[in-house]
Amino acid sequence: MNETKISVARPDLSGNEEKYVVEAIRSTWISSTGAFIQRFQEEFAELCGTKSAISVCNGTVALHLAMLAMDVRPNDEVLVPSLTYIATANVVRYVGAEPVFIDVDPNTWCMDPKLLEASITRRTKGIIAVHLYGHPADMDAINRIAAVHGLWVIEDAAEAHLARYKGQVVGGLAQMATFSFYGNKIFTCGEGGAITLNDPHLELRIRTLRGQGMDPQRRYYFPVTGYNYRLTNVAAAMLCAQLERQKQILERRKQIFQIYHEQLAGIPGISFQPVAPWAEPVPWLFCITVDKQLYGLSRDELILRLDKVGIDTRPFFMALHHLPPFREESAKRGEILPVTDQLSNTGMNLPTYVGLSNDDIERIATAIRSFRN
Ligand SMILES: Cc1ncc(COP(=O)(O)O)c(C=O)c1O
């Protein structure tokens, strides 16, 4: 086999990324102050329709700062979906609190709002709603339940840059939202993140915590214990270039999704990600689920077969409530999350990136069609 390996994701840095990085270097502003940081924060807030955006060094620390800003403490509980990347739950532990896992809705693959109420206890402080695989969570329903119980809500929008919920862009649909710009994300700078929000008090608290806890009015006076979670101006330079091409990047990804849909349609046992009527998802990683009875191979067998012909794919996230850091507490609470289990065992992501050619997609789809037993 001499065909080149197709990866799951690859950044597209073909615009002004290199030029702006060189500009940042030549300016000597390579740490966390500089024109690109300023520009990125302004542009990203505008795109998300929020008063501010705070740049940080990755999506995990964005969530950690959100926990600190919301004053989450030991023994508190935070409701999170079980079908998500582990960072969503890890950050709850960073502050000594406990993530309580909620099953996902089969129609959105995001946290099922109907299940929230049953998991709320006197210890519950808030909810992290994840916009999974580019699809927004049902924010109105989640916010309604949160309001009744006096809880805060944070959007984890790491995988859903510019997705829309009922016409409104994610990032401004709750108290705050967090983003990741890791190399496989829609917009990337290698490692990076952001928090979007409207509340100036929370903004000040987060900016203070992000910069070692230094009082913004008094240099080298530290009223609180903070962190160094800042993004560099060099990374922000890349993000500014990415945002310049946001339409192009999203357009090509949409085409890729469209072609996958066409080419994989009608294969028995292969199903696609659902889209709620109120959702305008963004094309992050194309998702399929594999029904072994109908397709003839399990998801894991299909992943191996594709790998053998040079096509890299990835299984859906493992259900967090079964993983070693969380399973004991989850079992004590008696959590049974069948939709998460089903998706986690049968779902997989296919290669999705701007540089993927139509021929590559055809090669992937042909392989999937041909492996059917
Ligand atoms: C849903 C979700 N939350 C949080 C993160 C963490 O972001 P990062 O890898 O930038 O720390 C990611 C992805 O990487 C993610 O997919």
Nearest CA to ligand 1 atom 10: 59
**Which residues in the chain come in under a pLDDT of 70?**
1-3
What order of strands is seen across the sheet that includes strand 270-272? 270-272, 286-290, 347-350, 314-315
CA distance 355 to 134: 19
Q: For position 373, what pLDDT does the model report?
A: 75
| Domains delineated in the chain | 17-101+109-244 (3.40.640.10), 246-370 (3.90.1150.10)
137 CA to centre of ligand 1 in angstroms: 16
**Chain-centroid distance, C-alpha 248:** 20
Q: Enumerate residues lining ligand 1, CB below 6 A.
A: 58-60, 84-85, 87-88, 130, 156, 158-159, 180, 182, 193
**Residues β-bridged to residue 290:** 270
134: exposed, middle or buried (Cβ count in 10 Å: 0-12, 13-18, 19+): buried
- Residue 2's pLDDT is 44
Q: Using alpha carbons, list the distances in angstroms from residue 306 to 48, 243, 294, 350.
A: 37, 33, 18, 10
Q: With CA atoms as reference, report the closest residue to 44 among 245, 221, 196.
A: 196
Residue 373 makes CB contacts below 8 A (sequence gap 6+) with 295, 296, 297
Position of tokens 């959105």?
A: 108
**Res 3: pLDDT:** 61
User: What span, in angstroms and rounded, lies between the C-alpha atoms of 137 and 135?
Assistant: 7
* Ligand 1, atom 8, residue with closest C-alpha: 59
How far is it, in rounded angstroms, from Cα 363 to Cα 20?
Answer: 35
Specify whether the CB–CB gap between 50 and 168 falls below 8 A.
Answer: no
Measured in Å, residue 88 CA sits from the centre of ligand 1 at: 7
Atom of ligand 1 nearest to the CA of 87: 4
Q: Contact 352/253 with Cβ under 8 angstroms?
A: yes
What is the rounded CA–CA span in Å between residue 305 and residue 310?
9
Cα 60 to ligand 1 centre (Å): 6
CA of 370 to the centre of ligand 1 (A): 34
User: 């409530």: which residue's tokens?
Assistant: 321
CB-count exposure of residue 262 (10 Å: 0-12, 13-18, 19+):
exposed
End-to-end alpha carbon distance in the chain: 22
Query: Could you tell me which residues come within 8 angstroms of residue 71 by beta carbon, excluding any fewer than 6 positions away?
Result: none
The strand pair at 176-180 and 152-156 is best described as parallel
